[in-house]
Amino acid sequence: MTKAMTEPVAAPAPGKQKFRLARYQDLALVPVIVLLLVVGAVLSPIFLTPANLVAVLTQQSELSLLVLGQAMILVVGKMDLSLESTVGLAPALAVALIIPASSGGLDVGLAAWLALPLCLLIGVAIGGLNGFLILKVGLSGFMVTLGMLTMLRGLQLAITEGKSLIDVPESFLYLGSATWLGLPAAVWICVVCYAVGIFVLKYLRAGRSLYAIGGNSEAARAAGIRVDRVVWTVLVIGSVLAVVAGILMTGRLGSVAATQGEGMIFQVFAAAVIGGISLQGGKGTLFGALSGVLMLGLVEQILRLQGVSGFYIKASYGAVIILALIVTRFATGQKQE
């Protein structure tokens, strides 16, 4: 017998920890964000004012919740395209079940206080249904959620007959319009959600299992992780976060637009990938994803303050995302898959 030990031996005392770049991969975008702040300040005197920065945060709060959900779903090795139509449908359906037909509702007449719980429940149902189709029936996640994306959007148009719902219960508008301790409630909600998410994915066994599943689901199963249960839970959480984003958006705008959330999914993926989340699963952190969101928000605000024409802002936004991907590619030194 050679070096195989009979008893586990004490680990050698760790020497002085060497500085390892890999450990700080998370922070790769921080210098870019600082740079954007400097550029913004140079280009526009009002850029660094609290009002402007709070505006950026508020604008990005809804997107950031979607990115949070999508990032977890991507880490676990799946994707959910239907998040963006969940943003619209869940509030629309919940509100329609409460308001009378004269305001565009379904004339069911449920109590107004039910709006929020009902809306969250719809999110749970959508995520649960996605999970059922992907995990139990064994369908392609991409196609299922693409189908769901189209179906939910259509459903919203059918329910509201293509109109915005203006007669929204007061309780439903509160979160998106309230201010707590000087900051919009939406910003606080995002901060809390991210803080919880970052903690769970780093310090809880359940959170770490997301990386194991995304990295090698067979190995995760052999290690005793209940893979299907975890993936299902993550899909439900993703949908619920999308619903929360929808509630905040409704509150901010005061109504449920027929196109609420439309086109967001592209930004969601862009922010996640810029933030270092791998589309192949198993890689990336929520902090990274959050910095991706902030980076996009700052770029958008700089463009807006520069008075880029509305006709061009969409094109330039797409160009900026590709540029951001290139910058990130070299800032992190990692190929994006």
Partner 1 sequence: MGEFAAVARGVTKRFGRTLALDDVGIEVRAGESHALVGRNGAGKSTLVSILTGMRAPDAGEVAFFGEPAPPVADSAAWRRHVACVYQKATVVPELSVAENLFINRQDLGGGLIRWKKLRRRACELLETYDVAVHPDELVSALTVEQRQLVEIARALSIGSRFVILDEPTAQLDGPAIERLFDRMRSLQDKGVTFLFISHHLQEVYEVCQTVTVYRDARHVVTAPVSQMSKPDLIEAMTGEVGGLTVPSGDDRPSSAEEVLTVSSLSGDHFSDISLTATRGEVIGLAGSASSGKHEFAETVYGLRKPSAGSISVDGAPVRGGDVPAALEAGIGCVPRDRHHQGLVLDLSIAENATMSTAGTFVWPSAQRAAGSTAIASYDVKAAGPDQPVSDLSGGNQQKVVMARALAGDPSVLVLINPTAGVDVKSKESLLGVVDAQARRGKAAVVVSDELDDLRVCDRVLVLFHGRVVREFGRGWHDQELIAAIEGMSSE
Q: Which of 38, 108, 202, 323 binds partner 1 (CB under 8 A)?
A: 202
Q: Is 206 in the site for partner 1 (CB under 8 A)?
A: yes
Which span (91-99, 155-163, 201-209, 303-311) binds partner 1, by CB under 8 A? 201-209
| Cα three-residue angle 262-63-232, rounded to 5 degrees | 90
Q: Residue 50's CB: how many other CB atoms inside 10 A?
A: 9
- Closest distance between partner 1 and the C-beta of residue 130, in Å? 24
Length of the chain: 337
Q: Is 323 in the site for partner 1 (CB under 8 A)?
A: no
Rounded to whole angstroms, how far apart are CA atoms 67 and 281? 15
Tell me if 192 contacts partner 1 by CB under 8 A: no
- Minimum CB distance to partner 1, residue 11 (Å): 3
Binding status of residue 204 toward partner 1 by CB under 8 A: yes
Asked whether position 50 contacts partner 1 by CB under 8 A, the answer is no
**Interacting residues with partner 1 between 221 and 260 (CB under 8 A):** 221-226
137 binds partner 1 (CB under 8 A): no
Burial label, 213 (beta-carbon count in 10 A; 0-12, 13-18, 19+): buried
Asked if 21 touches partner 1 (CB under 8 A), the answer is: no
Specify the stretch interacting with partner 1 by CB under 8 A; choose among 46-54, 65-73, 196-204, 241-249: 196-204
As a whole number of angstroms, the longest Cα–Cα distance in the chain is 85
Residue 138 has, within 13 A of its CA and on its CB side, a CA count of: 0
For residue 8, state whether it binds partner 1 (rule: CB under 8 A). yes
Nearest to 92 by CA among 160, 150, 154, 148: 160
> Number of residues in contact with partner 1, rule: CB under 8 A?
37
Regarding 14 and contact with partner 1 (CB under 8 A), the answer is yes
Contacts of 290 (CB under 8 A, 6+ apart): 64, 67, 68, 194, 275
Residue partners of 198: CB distance under 8 A and separation at least 6: 285, 286, 287
List residues near partner 1 by CB under 8 A: 1-12, 14, 20, 23, 202-208, 211-212, 215-216, 218-226, 282-283
